[in-house]
Structure 1
Amino acid sequence: MTQALNVISEPRDVASGVRKTDTIASGLADILADTYMLTYKTHAYHWNVEGPLFYSIHNLTEGQYEDMFAAADEVAERIRGVGQMAPMSMADIRNRSVVDDSPETLSAGDMCKALAADHERVAHRLHALIKISGEQNDPVTEDLATERSAFHEKAAWMLKALVAE
């Protein structure tokens, strides 16, 4: 059993021609971690937002966390598709993510600003993964990362638009 796990975790190319699958999988694992952390943060803000923007933020964040929850599965399955293991511990998720926890109490506007900044950080990391994927002959990951980047850029724009002054 141990030998089989070691074989799976060793860097290797896949039959489709993708190179440096360990590098691709590591980038995807970072995105998976970001997705999980941002999903939870978005969901927590969804539950706790108050004030005149409640309805707008509550509805917007619901669509966003639902999208990210579904995307996490796609990202993890892509990691497996390149022959690597997806992260299995919450400690690994927390350590890999650029999304930080937030203070317990924020205004609705500050929630939007914090989420927008997180979406932008994740989009930035996705841009790096797009470049790496192209260099390693992995158009599938490149397409997935492009799609996810578009989502995060749009999410940031919408959150910023809610609190524009």
Structure 2
Amino acid sequence: MTETAQSLSTDANTQIAEALNQCVAETVVATMLAQNFHWNVTGMAFGPLHALFQEIYEDHFTGQDDLAERIRALDMHAEGTLAGMLKRSKVNEAEGAPDDKAMIKQLKDAQETLAETLAGAGEIAAKHGDTLTEDLCIERGRTHEKFAWMLRAHLQ
């Protein structure tokens, strides 16, 4: 049976929101990672990487909003502090001033982590019959897998 946010149990909403807050945290950190790299990339591939990093952070900004709004639709609290997101996230900030190849690898790793986290959140939503959240997680996961593929192609 398909459930809506209003028909899910409080326990289901709590579990789904916890998984989505993990997704939001990692998306926020990955957004800043891409924006940092957009600002600081140099070298012969500056133009295409500058544009790709911008495409990624703009997508992620919309994605984090969609995920947080779904948490609120479940009548749960969306984490809104950077400290909380950094503490929770499996995606790490960049350290120092990496070169373009290191930027690409770190952002690729972030995309792979996001796809995995979203797949897990989608499974939790599916377990509770929340097809709307499951669909959102699948959509976002596909986006992150595509970005991971694009970034991997730069490393070959």
TM-score (norm 2): 0.93
Match of 1:140 among 122, 126, 132: 132
Alignment RMSD (CA, Å): 1.4
Does residue 162 in structure 1 map to residue 151 in structure 2? no
**Paired residues for 1:15-164 under 5 Å:** 15-17=6-8, 20-164=12-156
Provide the rounded CA distance (Å) in 2 between the counterparts of 1:35 and 1:14: 22
How far has the Cα of 1:15 moved from its partner?
2.8
Structure 1, 43-52 or 98-107: larger mean CA deviation = 98-107
1:14 is displaced (CA, Å) by 4.3
Gaps of 5+ in 2: none
User: Aligned partner of 1:23: which letter?
Assistant: Q
Give, as a single letter, the amino acid of the residue that structure 2 aligns with 1:124.
Answer: E
- Taking only the aligned residue pairs, the percentage that are identical comes to 34
Q: Distance in 1 between matches of 2:116 and 2:12?
A: 21
Residue type of the alignment partner of 2:25: A
Which gives a bigger RCO, structure 1 or 2 (Cα 8 Å, sep 6+)? 2
Once the two structures are TM-superposed, the CA of residue 52 in structure 1 deviates from its matched residue by 0.9
Equivalent position amino acid for 1:135 in 2: K
Secondary structure of 2:140's counterpart equals: helix
CA distance in 2, matches of 1:123, 1:72: 13
Q: Normalising by structure 1, report the TM-score.
A: 0.88
Other structure's SS at 1:160 match: helix
Moved over 6 A (4+): none
Q: Structure 1 79/160 Cα, relative in aligned 2: closer, same or farther at 3 Å?
A: same
Q: State which structure, 1 or 2, has the greater radius of gyration over its C-alpha atoms.
A: 1
Could you say which residue in structure 2 is the equivalent of 1:5?
A: none
SS in 2 for 1:20: helix
2:32 partner letter: Y
Number of residues of Structure 1 aligned to a counterpart in Structure 2: 152
